[in-house]
Amino acid sequence: MDHLSTYQLVMAGALGLGLAASSGFRVFVPLLAAGVAHRVGWLPPAPGFAWLGSTPALLTLAAATLLELLGYYLPLLDHLLDALATPAALAGGALLMASSLPQLDPTTRWVLSVVVGGGAAGLVQGSTVLLRAGTTATTGGLANPLFATLENGLAVGGTALALLLPLVAAALALGLLLFMGSRWRRWQRRRVAARQAARVPIPPGFA
């Protein structure tokens, strides 16, 4: 088995991270793009992932991608898709990372895939769920189609950037993940503070 250079490993990891982060916006867009890239020879698949470029896989992914892109424009269905997409994003992110890391032993590949790929996709997906819930609460769902359009654009644009300029895509994905991670920590701290405040009894005369 040929060993990859450090540069090739970095590029493979950057590609996987960019695709995994994009799957947090739309699960099937980067999976379909990766399958097409494998099929046309643009992106060599890791051992065991050639099936991603097969005709049945591409047809299935194309149908799922179309349903996912359009489904978020339908009221109520967007929240149902969020519930389904959250575990799917974790699996999709791990799969994309694993398919981008050739010539690694299976244990190392899957540990990196689950932690990095699945974690990146899950963080992005979880953040979009919270943002969609916020737009629904504040606008009654009127802004949700605009939010869906933004997500679609980020999924398609992020996927294309990952395939064409992996290092740039990985840098942007890392910045996005750090930003979302900080927002998650702030949100958790506010929740804890709110719970603690709710437990504090109100002294007589202040009620």
Residue pLDDT, tens place only, 76-89: 788 788 888 888 99
Q: Is the pLDDT of residue 205 over 50?
A: no
Query: For 155-195, what is each residue's pLDDT tens digit?
Result: 999 999 999 999 999 999 999 989 888 877 887 777 777 67
Q: What is the pLDDT of residues 14-63, one digit of tens each?
A: 999 999 999 999 999 999 999 999 999 888 888 888 899 999 999 999 99
Tokens of 88: 């799917």
pLDDT in tens, 121-165: 999 998 888 888 888 888 887 888 999 999 999 999 999 999 999
From CA 130, how far away is CA 82, in angstroms rounded? 10
Q: pTM for this structure?
A: 0.84
Residue among 6, 9, 2 at smallest CA distance from 166: 9
Question: What phi-psi label fits residue 150: left (phi over 0), alpha (psi between -120 and 50 degrees) or beta?
Answer: alpha
How far is it, in rounded angstroms, from Cα 30 to Cα 65? 9
Sorted by sequence, the CB contacts under 8 Å of residue 128 that are 6+ apart come out as 24, 25, 82, 151
207 pLDDT band, cuts 50/70/90, is very low
Selection from 187, 55, 92, 60 nearest residue 131 by Cα:
187
Amino acid in the structure at residue 80: L
Is residue 202 over pLDDT 70?
A: no
Q: Report in angstroms the alpha-carbon separations of 77 from 25, 72, 117, 138, 153.
A: 16, 7, 26, 18, 19
